[in-house]
A and B are shown apart, each in its own frame.
Chain A
Amino acid sequence: MLARLLPGLLILTVLALPGPALAQGTSPLDTGDTAFVLVCAALVMVMTLPGVALFYGGMVRRKNVLSIVMQSLFVLALVSVQWVLWGYTLAFGPDRAHVVGDLSWLGFRGVEQVANPDYSAEVPHLAFAVFQLMFAVITAALITGAVAERMRFPAFVAFTLLWTTLVYDPLAHWVWGVGGWLRELGALDFAGGTVVHISSGVAGLIAALVLGRRRGYGSEPMLPHNLPFTVLGAALLWFGWFGFNAGSALSAGGLAASAFVVTNTAAAAATLSWAGAEWVRHGKPTVLGAATGCVAGLVAITPAAGFVGPMSAVIIGLVAGVACYLAVSVVKARLGYDDSLDVFGVHGVGGTWGALATGLFASRAVNPAGADGLLFGNAGQLWTQFVGVAASWAFAGLLTFLILKGLGMVFRLRATEEEEEQGLDLTQHGEDAYPDMAVGIPLTPAPAPTPAGAARAAEREAGA
């Protein structure tokens, strides 16, 4: 009886609901593009956790691996909430004075299932917003490598919240927000060379300088404790980067395919050139070098991904591998700052090269909505790119410095000598990543068995 009634009931229920077309207003959504953007958002999420977490986690000493993994995990959670509450509206909300979005989309108010034609004509506004969320997440997570092994967790949480609000959100507005001044100037940044990589790289450099070197830096070896982790992290970054760059086309079409191909090409070229540079200078190509090289290539192609062709990507990647290698092996050693995991050397330098290279290699043949670069007869684009780079450097550098100095008055930023010696895993989180030999007793004893429970246990035993 019920079985015969059920289909009828279902049909009635469906009829009672408002039709999807009615709910979604006038602009029809493209289901293919929507699916693509949502999957790409998930791919970009994987870049942070576990991508960055493992990439960095393998490079620190075993006593600090949990602390660095926790930072990526925590950034994902913290920025996800920040973005819904106020981050998205500051970055992409209706323009205020070309520098920041206003507060009309506070708490995702007005960010709905229908498309917002300003950003994506055929994809739900919510899909665009969550895709952009993952960019805000990874940018903050990247900075953690520069201050690895010495920043206290409470200070890191406060810094991340302030930095994302005061640096990332406005900068994203400048470059990508409708009305943002760099966007209006014509600066090209397809997927975040300035917004993501220059900002995190420069912030990392400033943070490393403000916090100072790790104790023992330069006098004792601080070697990666698990390079297979690092390679796994790099692989997840490479994989996720297809979502990052191809997804930035916001449409599953030719431009996305082009961005996908140049992304892979540049990553590969930079892997070869970094490993090659090491091979020549040290006699052996290292695994850490190859893994870092691919990330350098991915960083460099990011701003250019939607504007350049495959041959340009080869050059961008080859140069990125060597330039970043020299930045971390020669320049950092000369200057003596302790950017623990080379956030500046890879993301700052690679992002700067990529943003400028976009001004060289961009071609309207690849993307009519872009511009031609110097090599395609438009020298002005290189200048525009330079302005974008300089503004990002100055803004991220200055604000990072002010945030840290301000926080330093309220928080202790650095772990004490003893905390650093013991490792942040134990001192900040009370855990040990590799407790091979833990001897002790649980401080919360297991509850004593109740009479009923004891009787049941006796029965079970008797039964067995």
Chain B
Amino acid sequence: MKNQQQRGITRRDLIKRAGTVSAALGLFPAVTRFARAQTTPKASEVVIGKDPRLIVHNSKTGVMETPLEILREHEITPKQFLYIRNNQVLNGGKTNEPIPLAGWPVEIVGMVLRPAHFDAAALEDLTQYEVKMVLQCSGNGRSFFAKYGAKAKGTQWGHGGMGQTVWKGPKLKDVLAHFKVEPHAAAQFLTVNGRDLPPATGGRPDFEHSLPWSNDPETDWIGRDVTENAILAIEMNGEPIPAVHGGPVRLIVPGYYGTMNVKWVGQIRFEARESYNYNQVFRYRVPLYPVEPGQYDKKKQGYENSRPNWHQKVKAVVFAPLDGEQVKAGTVKFWGVAWNDGVQPVEQVLVSKDQGKTWVSAKISAPDSPYAWYKWEVYLPMSAGEHEVWVRAIDRWGRAQPLDGVVDWNPSGYEWNGADRIKVKVG
């Protein structure tokens, strides 16, 4: 029988030691007063290898946003700063460390002539393609729906749910050819499921997404990007993909919203219809027609009256000055980035300091990849006082950012692309 001395630490000890620790740090509010307050951990405590300055939205799965003053400092967003939106967690996956390719099984099944089951290490032996692209959460900018008049439910992202990334791996079509998979002519969708699992609270549908597949990319614009350009990425920014960003294997479709770039790929299914998975039917979709802000429930959405968050909408974001920043009167340089789905080039970035009455064309530098950020800059004479500056991008097809983004309000606040508006104090 053990007595307290043998156990080495007594209750009194524990109380005493606790007291010493608190005294040493000496910073305790009465915890009980804030009983229902939460201590949100820092990004670096949530995911190993992340910078503590990232804004944590949810520590349970690891959802975090990059402040613009960090984002704008890098041409390629380094892994310690890149945003994360995880619906589910891969066991042991909350880290920037990689997971080995060997031993990671992948299967390609469904409407195919020959299903393939292979080890991810086989992907290294195929011809590698590299693509620089904007990775953006489809909820990025959701908080602006609320700011400009109609709240949309969900994580209230600012602009920092995005980053510029470089992915490398074999093209999906080459993988199909290598394993002689041959999708059926009637296959129209690709449903991708990662090896992450829903929390074991029970009942929650496992996360997966469907993307359009085209057997005839010459004529089918919607499915062409996936058929022609999708890669099974095994590297991000020149290194094995960090576990938290979907390594060892992530489906990458340049130009598509982040959510469709499924992480931790375990299964690819060719199908005649979109998955009826909850995450495909009720989430990550927007209505095809305008709906009344705040009055439309996402459960009214179905295949016929809504579409998934596939192609990214054209968008410009101001990187400097930042909203609310103080600048000196005189000539002020405004700069930022613009991008779209890469299908057509971004042709114009227009800037207004009089609520859209007149516009100035910014100078644009095209990137070396159609899916990457276009840098834009413009010098405007600014007089003392408070000013609001608006910025909008337009591409070759005339796809433009609406001046009032709320016109595209949708129940879950996806795909915000209203003209960016920033307030500057000129002194």
Q: A and B from one assembly?
A: no
Interface residues of B (CB under 8 A from A): none
Interface residues of A (CB under 8 A from B): none
